A and B are shown apart, each in its own frame.
Chain A
Amino acid sequence: MKSAAGAHTGTGTWLVQRATALVLAVALPGLIIHFLTALPVDFSGWQMLFAPLWVRVLLLLTMTALALHAWVGMRDIFMDYVHPVGLRLALYLTVIVTLASCEVAMLMALWK
């Protein structure tokens, strides 16, 4: 049974997962097609693909949606299968650090 303190937070995360799912279902195939149709490229051509501001903004927004989506998904998996509280919190932290690092790495790769 869930504690009373956490009982009301489920709907919010559920909604985040669904909203980001819709964003990703449109953005990811769109981005993949955008990059695939340009291949093969050399280094300068590859850089040019990432030059337009809208491409970089869209990539970063997609990365953000992906991070939120992955967080809710991994959290659900750990809530279902990992019951020792300490281990579960450690896994949560690992996921958060991983996703935050990906977000920062993406930002730095696109704007350096």
Chain B
Amino acid sequence: MKPIARPVYLNLLRIHLPITGWVSILHRVSGALLFAALPFGVWALSVSLSDEAGFRRMAATFAHPLARLIVLFLIGAFAHHVFAGLRHLALDVHRGVDLKHARQSSLAVMLAAGLVTLIAAWGMFA
């Protein structure tokens, strides 16, 4: 057998992930995003509890549409991370491991995360 020339460069744009793959990679991406957002969240809480002026500053910040859009994005990431994580815990105990159920639960994760994001958007912008 002829050895493959390495390194192998994969064209990411031509790879079509199945839905289970999307749930898997989005679980990682959302987790990393939430980690990156955590210091800002702790900082915002700290400022808001420090004194009256700090509280007003944070209240004004989170009243801004752009800040709300970022928060909404993080809510979506969190929702996806939680639902995909619960799916992962089910897989750990061998629930829904076969392809049919793995696909169905992936779709359920996507829909549930989308629904939570929509409800949050409605609560924040309506």
Tell me the A residues contacting B by CB distance below 8 Å.
18, 21-22, 25, 28-29, 43, 46-47, 50, 63, 66, 70, 73-74, 77, 95, 98-99, 101-102, 105-106, 108-110, 112
Contact = CB atoms under 8 A, between A and B. Distances in A.
B55 interface: yes
Nearest to A47: B49
Given A50-B49, A109-B42, A21 B89 contact: yes
A70 B46 contact: no
Contacts of A50: 49
Interface stretch (B9-17, B27-35, B97-105, B106-114): B27-35
A25 B85 contact: yes
20 contacts: A18-B89, A18-B92, A22-B89, A25-B86, A43-B51, A43-B55, A50-B49, A63-B42, A70-B34, A70-B35, A74-B35, A77-B28, A77-B31, A98-B35, A98-B39, A102-B42, A105-B42, A105-B43, A106-B45, A112-B50
Nearest to B83: A25
B72 interface: no
* Binding site secondary structure of chain B: helix
Interface of B: 28, 31-32, 34-35, 38-39, 42-43, 45-46, 48-52, 55-56, 78, 82, 85-86, 89, 92
Contacts of A28: 78, 82
Contacts of B89: 18, 21-22
Contact of B42 (A21, A22, A106): A106
B35 A95 contact: yes
A66 B31 CA distance: 11
